[in-house]
Amino acid sequence: MSDGLRLSAKTRAEIERLTTVYPVRRSALLPGLRLAQREIGWLPREAMDEVAEIVGVDPNACYALATFYDLFYREPVGKYVIGVCEGLACHLGGSGRVLGWLKERLGIGPGETTADGLFTVRTFECLAACDRAPCALVNDEYVGPLDEARLDELLRELRSHPNWSRVSGVGGRGSGASIPDPQYPTPDPRHSTTDTRHPAPGEGRS
């Protein structure tokens, strides 16, 4: 990962392992992309192509999948992506004000990243956490309900807390609300290995 656009051997190996987990090799594409983004922080073309190559699908398939999902970033984002919910409950609860405070504090609006590369602000349609309106998703962590004071505290914490992970990474605060790190099953011996429909290059010789 010399240029920061390519996957480490560890991630490659993990994706390789994932391809044996599912009855269909190609099912590893989605978790594979997620692992790639966890490592690099976003999904550069090089990483997408790499995942496609490991899984053995056309790079177009990777591109289609990555553009379908809102949480895959195809451009670099800040270390912390603050996604403000704009669903109905949050809207009524003041998500507009939250965005306004962020603009005041960070100088950026939705879709923008601070010059120091620390923060990206974006919006979500609905985070399905209406009980915490107005809420936001910071990387994989829910925060909310937000008012001005709590937002300031959050920003202070993000700036100072070294354990906050990168995008799609491990939640750092142990709040229990974080999206769990992907846990993938080990291969089911009933599947894989006997499927010779898609021989990998070199297979059939050894």
Partner 1 sequence: MDNLATVTIDGRVVKVPRGMNLVEAARLAGVEIPVFCYHSKLKPVGACRMCYVAIEKVPGVVTACTTTVTDGMVVNTKDPRVVKAQQGVLEFLLANHPLDCPVCDRGGECPLQNNTFGYGGPVSRYVEPKRHFAKPIPLSRRILLDRERCILCYRCVRFQKEIAGDETLTVINRGARVEIATLPGREFDSPFSGNTIELCPVGALTSALYRFKARPWDIRSSPSLCDQCSVGCNVRVDTRNRQIVRLLSRENAAVDDGWLCDRGRFGYEFANHPDRLTQPQVREGTRLRAAEWEEALYQAAQGLRQVVSQRGPGTVGVLVSPRLANEDLYLAQRLARAVIGTSNLDYRLTPHPTVSPLRPDAASGSIVGLEKARTILILGADPLNHQPVLDLRLKKAASLGARLIVVDEKQTDLAAFARLWLRPRSGSLDTLARGLVHLILANGQVNQEFVDRRTEGIDALRARVADDTPERVAASTGVPAPLLEQAATLLATNGPASIVYDRDLGASDDGAAAVLAATDLALLTGNIGRDGAGLYPLVRAANEQGALDLGLMPRRPSPPTPSPTGGEGGHAGCPAGGMTGAEMLDALRAGQLKALYLLGVDPLRELPDDRALRDGLTGLTTLIVQDILPGPAQELATVVLPGAAFHEREGTLTNLERRVQRLWPALKPPGKARPDWQIIHDLARALGTSFDYAQASDVFAEIASVVPTYRGLTYGKVGLKGVQWPLDVASGQEAGSLYEDPGDTRLAFTPVAPSTARIV
What is the nearest approach in angstroms of partner 1 to the Cβ of residue 66? Answer: 9
SS3 24: coil
Q: Are 123 and 129 in contact (CB under 8 A)?
A: no
Nearer to partner 1, 74 or 103 (CB): 74
The neighbouring-strand residues paired with 137 are 83, 142
- Dist. CA 109–CA 193, nearest whole Å: 50
Least separation, in Å, of the C-beta of 43 and partner 1? 12
Q: How far is the CB of 59 from partner 1 (least distance, A)?
A: 5
Q: Which is nearer to partner 1, 70 or 152 (CB)?
A: 70
**DSSP-assigned letters across all residues of 39-95:** HHSS--HHHHHHHHHHHTS-HHHHHHHHHH-TT--SS---SEEEEEE-SHHHHHHTH
Q: Which residues here bind partner 1, judged by CB under 8 A?
A: 45, 57-61, 63-64, 67-70, 196-199, 201, 203-206
DSSP label of 119: E
Give the nearer residue to partner 1 in terms of CB position, either 65 or 129. 65
The nearer residue to partner 1, 163 or 194, going by C-beta atoms, is 194
Q: Closest distance between partner 1 and the C-beta of residue 201, in Å?
A: 7
